[in-house]
């Protein structure tokens, strides 16, 4: 199988197949004399594993760890489980943050009449001159144009 076929077989784009190889997540594929990558069934199976892990929201580093465990018959299932559960905690944390944002926005939107009058509690709330929370910082680009079209 060449890379295009491997892409179809795994659901991973050609670009990503090359990328995963480049960052060392998977072994470099074999090559034909002319330099084309060739994939064996085993390679495909590994790549499918990678795709499924990614679909479950694992980061590349974690997928690497899972792959190591998968390929290592002598691993302890406890290791796998703790990796998975730690990941679940992260996902749940993100979900909590999303929930909060959703609730706040829905609350604000509910109180916005949404007609052609300009007063809107959403903007009013964003502009409230109250609190001054925890820090963050920016970096580099250009002039202010086209933001209005972002809607």
What whole-number distance in Å separates Cα of residue 12 and Cα of residue 4?
Answer: 10
Judged by CB under 7 A, does residue 138 bind DNA? yes
| Partner whose footprint covers residue 2, from a copy of itself, DNA, none (CB < 5 to 8 Å by kind) | DNA
Judged by CB under 7 A, does residue 80 bind DNA? no
H helix intervals, the chain: 3-10, 14-22, 41-55, 60-71, 77-110, 121-127
Nearest to a copy of itself of 32, 62 (CB atom): 62
| Partner whose footprint covers residue 42, from a copy of itself, DNA, none (CB < 5 to 8 Å by kind) | none
Judged by CB under 7 A, does residue 94 bind DNA? no
Nearest to a copy of itself of 34, 143 (CB atom): 143
Angstrom distances, CA of residue 23 to CA of 42, 43, 131, 149: 19, 16, 43, 38
What whole-number distance in Å separates Cα of residue 67 and Cα of residue 30?
Answer: 19
What whole-number distance in Å separates Cα of residue 70 and Cα of residue 51?
Answer: 14
| Partner whose footprint covers residue 36, from a copy of itself, DNA, none (CB < 5 to 8 Å by kind) | DNA
Q: Which residues bind DNA (CB under 7 A)?
A: 2-5, 13-16, 18-19, 32-37, 54, 59-61, 136-140
């Amino acid at each position: 199988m060449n890379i295009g076929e491997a892409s179809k077989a795994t659901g991973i784009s050609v670009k990503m197949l090359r990328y995963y190889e480049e960052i060392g997540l998977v072994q470099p594929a074999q090559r034909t004399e002319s330099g084309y990558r060739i994939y064996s069934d085993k390679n495909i199976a590994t790549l499918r594993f990678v795709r499924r892990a990614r679909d479950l929201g694992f980061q590349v580093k974690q997928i690497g760890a899972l792959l190591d465990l998968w390929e290592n018959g002598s691993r302890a299932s406890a290791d796998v489980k703790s990796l998975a559960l730690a990941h679940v905690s992260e996902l749940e944390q993100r979900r909590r943050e999303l929930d909060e944002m959703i609730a706040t926005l829905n609350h604000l939107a509910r109180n916005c009449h949404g007609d052609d009058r300009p007063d809107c509690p959403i903007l009013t709330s964003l502009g409230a001159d109250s609190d001054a929370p925890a820090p963050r910082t920016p970096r580099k680009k250009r002039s202010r144009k086209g933001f209005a079209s972002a809607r």
